[in-house]
Chains A and B, each alone.
Chain A
């Protein structure tokens, strides 16, 4: 069924509004999680329980001067935030939010998400290079090395589930978990793949402890040092949308997406679980993973650049390569449930 152009625009706008609200919510959540972990209260003045604080901050950013440095490459400097936010928004399209609710049921969903989200590196490199700031440049170069490296592990851990499912479509992957989520069905290799996916995607979206691209304390903000106002807000929003995307993908691939908690063979129990709406399952799982990734940020200090690359090339990549072999063996022999 082909959508008309009007319908497409309406759906697109709805999605955009949803994502902006989501970014607001994640911003609020992050500050509350941070406050909870740091023995303080967090935002509590603007609105009930500080919920409107993030709106106030956005308004402040809107009214700030959109400053462009004199020595900057003005075209690329202004283009970079657009590219970063576009790649973040594109990756949202094929995610299955609830039973039968998917904006774009593309048959290569996994491949699409991993290829689109890897384009973000272009935007960051562009931002760092065009700022004509040495700190930005170092941040951008770090970003190139970091994202390109960690994509390998992400790809390999996604492949392990694709091998088990036999499909690249996110919908098929969710359907295949009707008798149990992959993290339970796939024994230890899938758990390893899950852990590697969460660690590598934290690095992929440049969040602490892998936030070497920004590294406030070393590079005074890295690639976004020279950005202010709405352009900076776009980086911030892209970060939260990326956080949502990787958590949603992890929830979909490993934790069954919108699929309720099912145990193969127990029909009665499965019916009770079906009573909880599928969207709640999806968002519950996604928020759980977001919560874990947020805890990383407020627990760990930052790695050094060589330690970061060592972690990927010496540990995560070899482990995931062996892991993919194990999963493949498991899929061929039918050892999984």
Chain B
């Protein structure tokens, strides 16, 4: 058992470097204090709070239509999934029946966002390991998905599309054709990802047996998403607690047992194909009907506590709302996937080299604004 184990580090005479808050590989303002013995890592201590914006506190003064928009600024690559969680918790509290058309659109958009997010992970994983070219290969497909996002919700980053009861606007008329085009492009290009990075023997050697997270540790540390699934934990919320019609769709939960960085890479690569599979089932069968259920102008949640979780690209996002019956939340708490996943880094990077720490951070796939909120 790794938790509770104390590190005995003498502050005097140790070689300590601060990785971050300004460092090219922390992907944001994360600061890792690293104790080194030559190149070998003795201890890692994450220091947080550099991008804390008190999103939870701000939510308390925003209405239930407004508070979700802040979540696009948390895990900005899973913006749609974050918005969806906020919408779902309101729907759950008010027992709103979401139209089937809205559900289908939501799932398609969310899975596109998941592909886009995993593509960006691929890009930055290559970049962190010193290969610049994969970045540009990946951005070719990400651009295409971003164009669809721009057409549907008007933004390429900090996207907002999900509202309580459905979606904010109907999809454009060429939506189906565009999505099919993008999926075809992605599937045609998929083998290039293998050729440029995943199949590279240097990349594989950098990833294999690096940062092994055991199943017990993954559960104990609360890891979710691809990080936990690479360690053999079944934790896909889309399977375990389906929402928005995921229970009607055919897809596999990708679970590997390696637990090392290479397994995490493989899980994400396979998940992209699963997302493509999900979209293909829906894209020709978007039901006709309303895009949003009728709700009152001012939404008031009944008194009580409500919790809803969704599977974002990085794991389980939980929204916990305490309502006192007013039009704003009394208390809002987000259980963000990156915060839990971050806690794995100090445990799995011990004894590895500096270069491995970069590889581990790349495969944990942290989004720093989601850690601090």
Chain A residues at the B interface, C-beta cutoff of 8 Å:
34, 37-40, 134-135, 138, 141-142, 208-209, 211-212, 215-220, 298-307
Question: What residues on A are CB-neighbors of B136 within 8 Å?
Answer: 38-40
Question: Nearest chain B CB to A105's CB is how many angstroms away?
Answer: 40
Question: Nearest chain A CB to B130's CB is how many angstroms away?
Answer: 3
Question: Nearest chain A CB to B20's CB is how many angstroms away?
Answer: 10
Closest residue to B201 on the A side, CB-wise? A300
Which residue of A38, A134, A219 is within 8 Å of B133 (Cβ)?
A38
Task: Give the complex CA separation of A219 and B200 in angstroms.
Answer: 23
Does B358 count as interface, using CB distance less than 8 angstroms? yes
- Contacting pair B23 A301 (CB below 8 A): no
From A212, A215, A218, A303, name the one whose CB has the most chain B CB atoms within 10 angstroms: A218
- Tell me how many residues of B have a C-beta within 8 Å of chain A: 31
Question: Nearest chain B CB to A213's CB is how many angstroms away?
Answer: 12
Closest residue to A40 on the B side, CB-wise? B136
Task: Give the complex CA separation of A183 and B201 in angstroms.
Answer: 27
Question: Nearest chain B CB to A132's CB is how many angstroms away?
Answer: 13
Which residue of A216, A298, A304 is within 8 Å of B206 (Cβ)?
A304
- Contacting pair B137 A302 (CB below 8 A): no
Question: What residues on B are CB-neighbors of A304 within 8 Å?
Answer: 205-206, 353, 355-356
Chain B 132-150, CB within 8 Å of chain A: the 1/0 string?
1101110010000000000
Which residue of B39, B128, B133, B206 is within 8 Å of A303 (Cβ)?
B206
Known contacts A303-B206, A304-B353, A306-B353; decide if A134 and B130 are in contact (CB<8 Å).
no
Task: Give the complex CA separation of A306 and B355 in angstroms.
Answer: 10
Task: Give the complex CA separation of A108 and B354 in angstroms.
Answer: 41
Question: Nearest chain B CB to A97's CB is how many angstroms away?
Answer: 33
- Contacting pair B137 A135 (CB below 8 A): no
Task: Give the complex CA separation of A80 and B128 in angstroms.
Answer: 28
Which residue of A138, A218, A298, A306 is within 8 Å of B132 (Cβ)?
A298
Question: Nearest chain B CB to A299's CB is how many angstroms away?
Answer: 6
Question: What residues on B are CB-neighbors of A38 within 8 Å?
Answer: 132-133, 135-137
- Contacting pair A138 B200 (CB below 8 A): no
Chain B residues at the A interface, C-beta cutoff of 8 Å:
15, 17, 23-25, 38-39, 126-133, 135-137, 140, 196-197, 200, 202-203, 205-206, 353-356, 358
Task: Give the complex CA separation of A299 and B132 in angstroms.
Answer: 8
Known contacts A38-B136, A211-B130, A299-B133; decide if A217 and B358 are in contact (CB<8 Å).
yes
Question: What residues on B are CB-neighbors of A40 within 8 Å?
Answer: 136
- Contacting pair A305 B202 (CB below 8 A): no
From A135, A138, A218, A301, name the one whose CB has the most chain B CB atoms within 10 angstroms: A301
Of the A-B pairs whose beta carbons lie under 8 Å apart in the complex, a sample of 13, sorted by A's number, is A37-B133, A38-B133, A135-B17, A138-B354, A141-B38, A217-B128, A217-B130, A299-B131, A301-B200, A302-B130, A302-B131, A303-B205, A307-B202
Closest 9 CB pairs of A and B: A302-B130, A301-B131, A301-B129, A38-B136, A304-B355, A217-B25, A134-B17, A301-B130, A217-B128
Task: Give the complex CA separation of A303 and B355 in angstroms.
Answer: 8
Closest residue to B130 on the A side, CB-wise? A302
- Contacting pair A302 B355 (CB below 8 A): yes
- Contacting pair B129 A302 (CB below 8 A): yes
Question: What residues on A are CB-neighbors of B196 within 8 Å?
Answer: 299
Which residue of A39, A208, A219 is within 8 Å of B140 (Cβ)?
A39
Which residue of A138, A141, A209, A218 is within 8 Å of B358 (Cβ)?
A218
Closest residue to A298 on the B side, CB-wise? B133
Task: Give the complex CA separation of A304 and B25 in angstroms.
Answer: 15
Question: What residues on B are CB-neighbors of A299 within 8 Å?
Answer: 131, 133, 196
Question: Nearest chain B CB to A147's CB is how many angstroms away?
Answer: 16
Question: Nearest chain B CB to A71's CB is how many angstroms away?
Answer: 15
Known contacts A134-B15, A301-B197; decide if A209 and B140 are in contact (CB<8 Å).
no
- Contacting pair B200 A218 (CB below 8 A): no
Question: What residues on B are CB-neighbors of A306 within 8 Å?
Answer: 39, 353
Closest residue to A145 on the B side, CB-wise? B39
Known contacts A300-B202, A302-B355; decide if A217 and B15 are in contact (CB<8 Å).
no
Task: Give the complex CA separation of A211 and B202 in angstroms.
Answer: 14
Task: Give the complex CA separation of A291 and B356 in angstroms.
Answer: 30
Question: What residues on B are CB-neighbors of A208 within 8 Å?
Answer: 130
Question: What residues on B are CB-neighbors of A215 within 8 Å?
Answer: 130, 355
Q: Please give 6 more A-B residue pairs, beta carbons under 8 A apart, in addition to A40-B136, A135-B17, A301-B202.
A: A38-B137, A39-B140, A215-B130, A217-B129, A217-B130, A301-B129
Question: What residues on A are CB-neighbors of B127 within 8 Å?
Answer: 217
- Contacting pair B202 A209 (CB below 8 A): yes
- Contacting pair B39 A138 (CB below 8 A): yes
Task: Give the complex CA separation of A92 and B243 in angstroms.
Answer: 68
Task: Give the complex CA separation of A303 and B137 in angstroms.
Answer: 21
